Amino acid sequence: MATISWPAVPSGQVIPKTGRAGMPDVKMPITPPDTEDYRRANTAQLVSADPARPVFVMANAGSGKTKVLIDRVARLLLRREDGRVGAAPDSILCITYTKAAANEMLSRLFRTLGKWSIMRDDKLREELSRLEGRPKDAYKTDDLRAARALFARALETPGGLRIETIHAFCARILRRFPLEAGVLPGFAEIEEDEAQAIWQSVRAQAVLNASEVAPEALNVLALEGGHDGADVALNAMRFQMSVYLDFAETHAFNQAAMRAALIEGLNAPQASPAEILELEMGSQMPVGALREALISLRASGKRDDTRTANAVEAALYEEDPGRRWGCYKGAFFGAQGNAYKSLYNAEAGKDANVVALFATKDEIGSEVARVEALAAKLKLAETVERTSALLEVGLGALVAYQEEKRRRGALDFDDLIRKTRDLLTRTGMSDWVLYKLDGGISHILLDEAQDTSPEQWQLINALTEEFTAGIGAERQQDPRTLFVVGDEKQSIYSFQGAEPAQLRAQEQAYIQKDPAALSQTMEMSFRSSPEILGFVDAVWNSAPPVDIASGAQPPLTADEVTHTARRANQPGLVELWPVDERDEDEDADAWSRPVNALRSSSPKAQLASRLAKQLKAMVDRGETVWEELPTRDWQRRAMKPEDILILVRSRTGGLFDAMISALKSEGLPVAGADRLKLTDHIAVQDCLNLMRFALLPERDLTLAEILRGPFVGLVDDDRYLFRLASKRRKGETLWSRVRASDDPDVQAAERFLSGLLERRHEPPYEFLSRVLDVPGADDLTGWDKINARLGAPAHDPVEALLSRAQGFDATEPSSLQAFVAEMESKLVEIKRDLAAPEGKVRVMTVHGAKGLQAPVVVLPDTTAGPKSVSSSMFTVSDMPIWSPRKDSDIPAAEHARAVANAKSEEEFRRLLYVALTRAQDRLIIAGHWHGARPPGYHDRSWYALCGAAMSRFAEEADEDGIRRFGRVPPKDRDVFEESKAHSALPDWVFTPPRQAERQRRFGAPSSLLGRKTPVLAPFSQTRQARLRRGRIIHSLLEYLPALDPAARQAAADRYLSRLSDLTDSDRHEMNAAVFGILDAPDMQRLFRPGGRAEAAIVGSAPELPDGLIINGRVDRLVVTDDEVLIVDFKTDQPAPDRPDGVAETYRAQMAAYWAVLRRAYPGRTVRTALCWTDGPRLMFLPEEMLLEALKGAQSPV
C-alpha cells in the first residue's frame, strides 16, 4: 500500500471544504512538498539516468520513465566529469514501442538540447547540475561549450539520432546487410492491410489447390472447423508463422515426417480415428452382453436407465463405426463431454451384467473403462489428424505468402523482426554482421520493455552479447551500457506477442552476466492525486488470485504494488457509481428498430446519458481541476471539455457509440472515434456512392442515397424521393425520372449528376478532388456541403479516402471501378491522434490511451468479466496442435488453454491498472447492467474489483448510490470567493488604458501607391505570354549564377527544354537575354561574393508611413563592407532610356527597399538599380528620385 494513509469518507459525506491538514485546496499556487519520498524518487531517477552502468528500471505509471530515458540520452551525450567527450550520437540506439513515442521522445530531447544551446552560463550550470546531480561550480567553460554544441552535433549526425521503433531499427539493419539477411536490396515495407490482401489471395488459392491434391485434408478442415473455422485456423497460422515454418523446416516439409513427429510427441496411437473406431466399435464391442443389459435397463424405466438404454440400442442398430460411436458415447458423456456420474439406477443395478458393464463407482465397469480409454485415444488420434490436415493445407498458403512477398520485394512487420533475428543469431554471417555493428552501437536504451516479445528479446540479446564479453567488456573507461525500462503491470499487448514474464527473466540473466548492472524501482507518481493512487494500490493488491485449472502455474506478475504521491497536498476524488437495474421491457421494439441500434432505455444508452449529463453539469458548474504551472507549482482552474477522457474496453458492443452520441446530445464537444473503419463512415460512403453512380446510374438505391446525401440534399422524402420513385413503369429507373423532372431542385441535382457521368473515366483522385474542391452552381464546394451536414469529424475520413485514391492512382490502373472494388474488399482503418485534446472530450479504448493522461477519467465499461481465449492453436513441446473446441482438447491442449485463459485474465487486470492510472485528479467508475441476474456485473469484472477496493475507503453510498473516496473539488467561483479576500486589487485596475497605438501591418512595396496602383489590362494571351517570359528569365537568373560558369549553358538548355510549349525561337530569345546579363562585364558586380538571389526584405523605416512594415523580396542583393546594392531584374520591352521613364510602381518598390536597408546597414552606401534584360542595361536610380517616391507614399488601405 501507499505510504500515505487516508481516512475513510463517511457515507455520502464530502470532506469539509477547509481540507485536511497538509492538503491546502484553494491557496494558489501551491508547491508539492519536499518529502523523504520525493528525495528517494529523485535519487532513483538520477541513478537510473547515470550512463556509467547498465540499469533495469521497473517504473510505476506516471513515475517519469520517459523523462529518465531522455535524461540518460542527454547525459550520454554530455562531456564526462573527467573531461572525456560524451558518446557519439550515432553510437546510441533508443528503441521505443510506437512511432508516436519515438517522435515525442525525439522532440523532447531536441527541445532540451535546443534550450541548452542558447542558455546563459548560470542557467545552463543550474540545468546541468539538476540533470547530473553535480555541484554547479563543477562545470567549467569547456563543459558549457560542449553542452551548447550538442544541439548542432545531434542535428548533423548522419541519419539523425537513432530513436526509433524496433521495426524501424530492423528495417535499417536489413537494408545495410540485405545479402547476408537473404532479402532483396531496396525491399518495401508493407502495411497490415496490404499484407492481409496478399494473404487472402494466397489462402484462397491454397484451398483451391488442396481441393485437387489433398481433398481428404480439406474435408477434415471443413468438418472440424465448422462455420468459418477453417479460415480462422489458417489465419491463426499466419500470425504464428514462425512456429509452423520452424516445425515444417525441421521435418523438411515432409507430411509423413510431421505426422510421425506429432504421434511421437503426443504419445498418440499410430492408427487413424477411423481405424480405431472400426476396431473398437466392431469386434471389441460386447454386443451380446449389451443386449442382455438392455432388458434390465428397459425394465426399470428410470431416467438414467432409459438414457443409457436409448444410447446403447441406437448404437447397436448402426453399422457404420463412426455413427455407432456417435450414439454409443451418449450413454457415457453429456453434451459438453463430461462423464455421467451414474449410468443406471438401483433397480437395474440388481443385474450383475449391468454393473459389470456400466459401474462408475468402486470397481469401474468394463465398458466405462473401455469407452473412457477409447475417448482419450480418439482425442489424440483426431488431434494428430486435424493438425496434419491443417499443416497440409496451411503450409502451402504460408509458403505461397512468403513467395508472393518475395516476388514483390516486400516484408511485413513480422518479417522485419524474424529476418533480423535470424541475421544476428542463426545465419553463418551473424558473427560478421555483429562485428560490423559492434563498432557502431555502444549504448542501447529499451522503452516499454514489458511489451517486448521473445523474438525481439533474442534480437536485443544478440546486440548486447558483446557488452559483457570479449572486447566489449574490456572497455572500462567508456563502458557500453544497456538501459531497460518497463512495468509488468502495464503489459497489455499479448496479441502482439508480448510476454511480461520475460522482463524479470531478462533482468536476472543480464545482472548475472554483468555484476555492475543495477535493478531500480521507481514508485513515485508525478501524475495522480494521493486518493487515486491509494485506490489503485487497493485494487491491485486486494484482487483475488487467478484460478487456473489443471494444476497450471499462474503467470508471473508484479509483487504487491506501492505508489507514493508527488502531489501529496493536492486532493483528488474517486467515485464508484451504482449499476442501474435493467429495464425489463428493453427488447420490446427489437423487431422494429434498426439492426445493432441501441434502444434509448437500454442499460448502455441510459448509462451514457447519465454520464454525459453529469459531465456537462461539472463543466457548467465550473468544477475545478489542478494544472501545473511553468514554475512547477500547481493551481486550480475551471474544468474544460478537453480535461475529460472516457475509456472503454472495446469500440464494439454499442457503448462506445452511445457515449459519443450522448455527449453530442448534451452539447459537449467530442473528438469522435480514435480509430475508424474507413468505409463505415457515412461521408466516405457518400463519396463512394458518387463513383458507383458514375459507373452504373441505373442503380436506384445508390442514386436515392445520393439524392438525400450532403452533395445533393433533397432530404424531403414526400416532396422529392416519393414523387420520383413512385408509380414507375416496369424497367423505369430512378435516374430516368430525375432526368425528366421539371422541379428546379431536381434539375439542379440532374446537372450535378450528369457532370459525374461525364467524368466517369477520370482517375479516382481527380474525380474526388473535383467533387470536393470545385464550387458548384450554388457556389459551394463538396467540402462545404460535407461540413454543413456532417461537421468537422467527417474531414479526417474523407481526407483518408483522398489519400487512398492518390496512392491507388500511383500504383494501380486508374479506374473508378477498380478503386471502388478495392475499397469494398479491404478493411481499411484510420487512426486519429487524440493525444492533443484540442478542446474536446476524448472517447477511446484503454489500449489507445496508453501513454496519455487527463485530469478527469471516466470508466463506463466495467461490468463484463474477462474473456476466454478464442484461439484454437496451441504449441506443445515446440509442436503446433489445433484444437478448435474445448471438448476436443487432449490433456496438453487443456493445460495450454487453461494457462492461456489465466494469462488473459491477468492481462484483463493489467488493463484495468492502465485505465485507472490515466487519471490525474478525478476518477469516475461506472457500469451498465450485465447479464440476466443480479447484481448486474460479473464477479471477476473490473466493477467487482473496484467495488471491493472501495469498501476499504467508503462503505456507504450517498442518496444517489455513489460511493466516494476523497473530496468534491470546489467550483471555480468558490476558488475565486475564497481567494479574493486575501488578494489586493492590482494598480492597473485603477489606471485608465492608454490610447491604442496604430496597428502595425505588413504591406508590399506597391502598397505605398495607395489607391493609385495602376489598373492592369485583363489577362490576354499576349500579356500571359509576357508574364511567363518574365518568370522564366527570373528563374534562370536566380539559379544559374550559383553554378560554375562552364556548367551554366547546359543547365539552362535542360531547363528550357522541359518547357514543351515554348518554340525554339522563344528558347533562343530567353537564353540570349539571360546570358547577355551573365556574360556582360559590367554586370559581374551583381554576382560577386556576398550576393544573394531572391533576398527577403522585411522591416520599417522613418520615411515609410506610420505602422507599415514592408514585406517584399528583391531579385539580387549584394552586401559588401562599404556598400549595399539592391537590384531588380525587369523584362519590359522596350526598356526606358532614362530613370525618369521608370514606372511609378518600380520607383515605389525600390524606394521602400532602399529605406528599409538604409536603416538596417547604417554607415554603408545603399544604392538601387534596375537591370533591364532588354539591352541588357543596369540603370541606377538617383537618391532624390527615391526620396520623392517616399514623399508621395500613402498608408496602405
pLDDT tier at 21, thresholds 50, 70, 90: very low
Return the percentage of the chain with pLDDT > 90, whole number.
37
The pLDDT-based confidence of 457 (bands split at 50, 70, 90) is very high
At residue 552, the pLDDT reads: 41
pLDDT of 222 reads: 84
572-577+603-674+837-966 has CATH 3.90.1560.10 classification: no
From residue 651, how far is each of 81, 257, 646, 658, 808 by CA, in Å?
Answer: 53, 45, 12, 10, 29
Interhelix angle for 795-811 vs 682-695, to 10°?
Answer: 40
- HEC readout, 88-145: CHHHEEEEECCHHHHHHHHHHHHHHHHHHHHCCHHHHHHHHHHHHCCCHHHCCHHHHH
Comparing CA positions, the residue from 490, 436, 496 lying closest to residue 466 is 436
Residue the block writes with cell 523532447: 108
Look at the domain 1001-1191 and name its fold. Answer: Lambda Exonuclease; Chain A (3.90.320)
Instruction: Assess whether pLDDT exceeds 80 at residue 1125.
Output: yes
Q: In sequence order, what DSSP letters do the residues of 1142-1169 get, joined into one string?
A: S-HHHHHHHHHHHHHHHHHSTTSEEEEE
pLDDT, tens digit, for every residue of 258-290?
A: 999 999 999 999 999 999 999 999 989 999 999
**Band of residue 940 on the pLDDT scale cut at 50, 70, 90:** very high
The SS3 of residue 554 is coil
pLDDT exceeds cutoff 70 at 470: no
- Return phi, psi of residue 1130, to 5°: -130, 135
d(CA 919, CA 857): 5
pLDDT on residue 1045: 86
pLDDT tens-digit readout, 119-164: 888 899 999 999 998 999 899 888 898 898 888 888 878 777 889 9
Identify the pLDDT of residue 1002: 64
566: three-class secondary structure by DSSP: coil
Distance separating alpha carbons of residues 1076 and 777, to the nearest angstrom: 51
Contact (Cβ atoms closer than 8 angstroms) between residue 763 and residue 814? yes
pLDDT of residue 3: 34
675-831: CATH architecture: Orthogonal Bundle (1.10)
pLDDT of residue 20: 35
Of the candidate CATH numbers 2.40.30.10, 3.40.50.300, 3.30.230.70, 3.30.70.270, the domain formed by 36-181+414-524 belongs to 3.40.50.300
Is residue 56's pLDDT more than 70? yes
| Strand ranges of the sheet holding 162-165, from the earlier edge strand across to the other edge | 162-165, 92-96, 443-446, 481-486, 55-59, 518-522
Q: Across-strand partners of 830?
A: 676
- Per-residue pLDDT for 400 more than 90? yes
Amino acid at the residue 327:
C
For 501-505, 578-582, 829-833, 1121-1125, which range has the lowest pLDDT when averaged over its residues? 829-833
Asked whether the beta carbons of 1016 and 1022 are under 8 A apart, the reply is no
- CA 343 to CA 333: how far, in whole Å? 10
Give me the chain's average pLDDT, please.
84
Residue found by looking up cell 459551394 in the block: 780
DSSP of 462-499: HHHGGGSSHHHHT--SS--EEEEEE-GGG---GGGT--
Q: Average pLDDT, stretch 660-666? A: 90
Report strand pairing: 1108-1119 vs 1123-1130. antiparallel
Task: Choose among 495, 582, 539, 636: nearest CA to 920.
Answer: 636
Nearest partner of 504 among 487, 516, 517, judged by Cα: 487
What's the confidence (pLDDT) of residue 1062? 84
pTM above 0.85, yes or no: no
pLDDT over threshold 90, residue 416: yes
* Nearest to 605, CA basis, from 583, 578, 588, 577: 583
Kindly list the domain boundaries of the chain, sorted by start residue: 36-181+414-524, 188-270+381-408, 274-363, 572-577+603-674+837-966, 675-831, 1001-1191
CA gap 777, 774 in Å, rounded: 10
The band of 584, judged by pLDDT with boundaries at 50, 70 and 90, is low
Interior CA angle at 728 toward 725 and 733, to 5°?
70
Over residues 838-876, the pLDDT tens digits come to 789 999 999 988 889 999 999 999 999 998 887 788 888
Residue 253 has pLDDT above 80, yes or no: yes
pLDDT above 60 for 37: yes
* The pLDDT of residue 1064: 86
Q: CA 521, CA 504: separation in Å to the nearest integer?
A: 12
- For 608-614, what is the mean pLDDT? 95
* 737 Cβ contact list (under 8 Å, min separation 6): 724, 725, 728
Are both 36-181+414-524 and 675-831 of the same fold?
no
Q: Which range is most confident: 101-110, 531-540, 1044-1053, 1122-1131?
A: 531-540
Give the confidence band of 23 by pLDDT, cuts at 50, 70, 90. Answer: very low
Cell numbers for 12: 455520502
pLDDT at 434 over 70: yes
Output the pLDDT for position 348. Answer: 86
Residue corresponding to grid cell 502455474? 553
CB–CB of 1097/1114 below 8 Å? yes
Q: Give the sign of the dihedral formed by CA 224, CA 226, CA 228, CA 229.
A: negative
ω before 1176 within 30° of 0 (cis)? yes
Place of cell 517616399: 1190
Give 1172-1193 pLDDT, tens digit per residue.
888 788 899 999 998 888 886 6
Q: Are 1157 and 1125 in contact (CB under 8 A)?
A: no
Distance between CA atoms of 280 and 376, rounded to whole angstroms?
A: 13
**805-841 pLDDT, tens digit each:** 888 867 666 789 889 988 887 777 777 666 666 789 9
Helix axes 241-250, 229-239, angle to 10 degrees: 80
Half-sphere exposure of 1143 (CA within 13 A, CB side): 16
Residue 767 has pLDDT above 70, yes or no: yes
* Longest pairwise C-alpha distance within the chain: 135
The three three-digit cell numbers of residue 292, written as one number: 442382455
- Cβ neighbours around 335 below 10 Å, total: 7
**pLDDT grade, residue 31 (50/70/90)?**
low
Interatomic CA distance for residues 1174 and 518, integer angstroms: 77
For residue range 480-493, what is the model confidence (pLDDT) as tens digits? 899 999 999 999 98
CA 1018 from chain centre, in angstroms, equals 52
Amino acid at 1180: F
What's the rounded Cα separation, in Å, for the pair 907 and 850?
14
Name every residue whose Cβ is closer than 8 Å to that of residue 509 and which is 6 or more positions away in sequence.
none
Q: Where are the beta strands (DSSP E) in 991-1059?
A: 1001-1003
Residues 6+ apart with CB under 8 A from 854: 643, 644, 645, 837, 842, 918, 919, 920
1023: Cα separation from own chain's centroid? 52
Residue 762 and residue 775: Cα distance in Å, rounded? 18
Least confident residue range of 5-9, 134-138, 175-179, 947-951: 5-9
Q: Which of 314-328, 818-832, 989-1003 holds the top average pLDDT?
A: 314-328
Q: Judge contact between 390 and 210, C-beta under 8 A.
A: no
In whole angstroms, give the CA distance from residue 947 to residue 328: 49
Given this model, what pLDDT does residue 24 score? 39
| pLDDT for res 974 | 53
What's the one-letter identity of residue 825?
A: S
CB 892 within 8 A of CB 876: yes
> Please, what sign has the CA dihedral across residues 441, 443, 447, 449?
positive
1190, three cell numbers: 517616399
d(CA 177, CA 2): 50
β-pairing, 410-411 with 188-189?
parallel
Rounded Cα–Cα distance for residues 359 and 351 (Å): 11
pLDDT of residue 550: 40
Peptide bond into 29 cis (omega under 30): yes
